[in-house]
Structure 1
Amino acid sequence: MRVVVAGATGVIGRQLVPLLGDAGHEVVALSRKPGPARPGVRPVAVDALDRGALGAAVRDAKPDAVVHLLTAIPAQIDPRKVGRDFAVTNRLRTEATRTLMEAAYDAGAGRFIVQGLAYAYDPAGGPGAADEDEPFWAKPPKPWAGTLDALKTLERLTADADGLVLRFGHLYGPGTAFDRDGSTIGQIKARKMPVVGDGSGMFSFTHTQDAALAVLAAIGRPEVRGALNIVDDEPAALGEWLPVVAELVGAPGPQRVPVAMARLAAGAWGAAFMTRLRAASNTRARTDLAWSPRYPSWRTGFAAELAAS
């Protein structure tokens, strides 16, 4: 099968491309700066916001499947300016998705797979981990409203294309903010990432390798459509995982601050991110994709990634 991977040099793409090649697929790897060539992989440089160039690259490839992993998230995010920091990613989730969808249709691709988020569920939706039928955040903090609107557009366009959205949790692994040299780990080492309030904000984590394996599984199951949560088996509250990660990297235990102080320092979205996120369930992905995480717990995954640091 010939597979176009848009965003091939991102944190998931760099894990996915070799997996696809090893599985016998022919890969056309799209990115702003092309990655290394290897047998079965053809790197192509393209600006994903150049509608003509992106569409031509997909049509010329004549793919059987298109995988959309395009993001442009800064290495360091300012929670008070999240609208600014996600502006380009929002365009990639709307404008580039339309371009890829139309080009995939023109090229006769039978499979359209898109990267989404598993931590946009409405915290008012109830207790426990959310499944894919739960609604997204009805009244998000104002700074995050634009990002949520872009996610909704991405999901609607993917549904129109009869495609599949893989909703990934908080990504960790090589090249992410949770990498040894990543921005979040740097904040933890500097004691600049506190436990906010009672530390009850819930996080569902996804190792980038598990994300790539889910994409590979989805390519092999073209009948699976809609949306699936791709997360590990053990959601964790902020107050649970943050001290463990701090210990793994040899950092002092995190400080504790009240929600009001966090809101002053990090804004409405920063405080909500630390206190109100809802976990996600992977039950449906396990069944529909016959996928299971190689790192079923963030505990083992972070230990594998960070112990040497």
Structure 2
Amino acid sequence: MRVVIAGATGVVGRQVVPLLVAAGHEVVALSRRAGADTGKGAVRTVAVDALDQAALGAAVRDAKPDAVVHLLTAIPAEINPRRMERDFALTNRLRTEATRTLIEAAYDAGAGRFLAQGLAYAYDPAPASAGPADEDAPFWRHPPKPFVTTLDALRTLERLTSAADGLVLRFGHLYGPGTAYDPAGGSTIRAIRARKMPVVGDGAATFSFTHTHDAATAVLAALAHPDAKGALNIVDDTPTPARTWLPALATLLSAPTPQKVPTLAARLAAGPWATAFLTQLRGATNTRAKSLLTWTPRYPSWRDGFTAELKAYAAGHNEVA
């Protein structure tokens, strides 16, 4: 199968490309830079501006793909929660404008499969007793104002993908190389080490994590299951509240125990989005993805994945030293 990967140099794309090559697929990697490092094997890289409609469309049509995978984002390495709309403006355009272009070009080229990257933590908050959200749960009905434009873009991406009989892979909080949770210097890891990421209120926000390798294997599985359409949660098996995973991750990092901050104080200091992020998020269940894609995460728990990442980082750091 010839597969176009839009966003091939992102944190998921870098993991997807070598898996596709190893599985015998032909890969056309779309990147902002010519000759970007997209992995080993038979990969053709095409430099293109994803917001240049004519150029992006031509790159896809020229590739004549059997499938198109949309992993385009432009999320800053460190997000200012008070400037979220600004920090996500480009990603929101990629989720709307670039999605339209990719779908139209995929149709013109005769591609039979379209996959797109979504989010598994945009669900409407619910009491803990409601459990993790499945794919039928509604998105956030009354989100914090800074999240409104991002949520609108996600809804547009999902609507366009569904209309094209495609599949949105809703990833959880991504961790692994190059993410905010990268032990080599990711922004969240730095904040935890500096004791600048507190447990807010009762720490009830439930996180569903996804290692970037597990996200990549889900892409591979989705290409092999063309009947899977709509949206699927690609998350680990262990949705966990912030009051549990934050102190546990601090311990794994040998970092100070996170501070506890009242909700009102957090809202005054960091704004409504950061506060909601640490107090209201709902976790997600991967039951449907496991069934429809015959996919299972390598790391069923974030604890397993973070432990593996930290061991790998320590081993590499010691070799360099």
Q: Give the TM-score taking structure 1 as reference length.
A: 0.98
| Match for residue 46 of structure 1 among 34, 48, 53 | 48
Which whole-Å CA distance do the structure 2 matches of 1:61 and 1:140 have between them?
39
| Match for residue 249 of structure 2 among 234, 245, 252 | 245
Shift of 1:229: 0.1
Which whole-Å CA distance do the structure 2 matches of 1:7 and 1:299 have between them?
28
Partner of 2:65: 63
Given residue 163 of structure 1, which amino acid in structure 2 is its aligned partner? G
Alignment of 1:104-253 (within 5 A): 104-124=106-126, 127-180=130-183, 181-253=185-257
**Residue 12 of structure 1 pairs with residue 12 of structure 2:** yes
Contact 2:18–2:41, Cα closer than 8 Å, also in 1: no
**Residue 97 of structure 1 pairs with residue 102 of structure 2:** no
Contact 2:171–2:233, Cα closer than 8 Å, also in 1: yes
Partner of 1:281: 285
Which whole-Å CA distance do the structure 2 matches of 1:24 and 1:36 have between them?
19
Q: Deviations over 1:109-154 (max 9, x none)?
A: 0000000000000004871000000000000001110000000000
Q: Deviations over 1:69-101 (max 9, x none)?
A: 000000000011110000000000000000000
Q: Helix, strand or coil for the counterpart of 2:134? A: coil
Contact 2:9–2:37, Cα closer than 8 Å, also in 1: no
Which whole-Å CA distance do the structure 1 matches of 2:227 and 2:126 have between them?
32
Given residue 154 of structure 1, which amino acid in structure 2 is its aligned partner? L
Q: Helix, strand or coil for the counterpart of 2:271? A: helix
Which whole-Å CA distance do the structure 2 matches of 1:239 and 1:33 have between them?
41
Moved more, 128-137 or 33-42: 33-42
Which whole-Å CA distance do the structure 2 matches of 1:293 and 1:265 have between them?
37
Shift of 1:223: 1.0
Partner of 1:254: 258
Which whole-Å CA distance do the structure 2 matches of 1:33 and 1:240 have between them?
40
**Residue 36 of structure 1 pairs with residue 40 of structure 2:** no
Shift of 1:13: 0.2
Partner of 1:25: 25
Q: Helix, strand or coil for the counterpart of 2:14? A: helix
Shift of 1:265: 1.2
Partner of 2:3: 3
Partner of 2:317: none
Shift of 1:239: 0.6
Partner of 1:301: 305
Moved more, 120-129 or 138-147: 120-129
Which whole-Å CA distance do the structure 1 matches of 2:221 and 2:74 have between them?
25
Q: Helix, strand or coil for the counterpart of 1:193? A: coil
Taking only aligned residues, the RMSD between alpha carbons, in angstroms, comes to: 1.0
Structure 1 residues without counterparts, runs of 5 or longer: none
Q: Helix, strand or coil for the counterpart of 1:114? A: strand
Which whole-Å CA distance do the structure 2 matches of 1:16 and 1:7 have between them?
10
Shift of 1:39: 3.1
Q: Helix, strand or coil for the counterpart of 2:76? A: coil
Shift of 1:250: 1.5
Shift of 1:36: 3.0
Moved more, 124-133 or 294-303: 124-133
Shift of 1:247: 1.2
Which whole-Å CA distance do the structure 1 matches of 2:116 and 2:8 have between them?
13
Given residue 94 of structure 2, which amino acid in structure 1 is its aligned partner? L
Q: Give the TM-score taking structure 2 as reference length.
A: 0.95
Given residue 305 of structure 2, which amino acid in structure 1 is its aligned partner? G
Given residue 36 of structure 1, which amino acid in structure 2 is its aligned partner? D
Contact 2:2–2:28, Cα closer than 8 Å, also in 1: yes
Q: Helix, strand or coil for the counterpart of 2:136? A: coil
Q: Helix, strand or coil for the counterpart of 1:123? A: coil
Which whole-Å CA distance do the structure 2 matches of 1:170 and 1:147 have between them?
15
Shift of 1:40: 1.9
Which whole-Å CA distance do the structure 2 matches of 1:270 and 1:229 have between them?
23
**Residue 290 of structure 1 pairs with residue 294 of structure 2:** yes
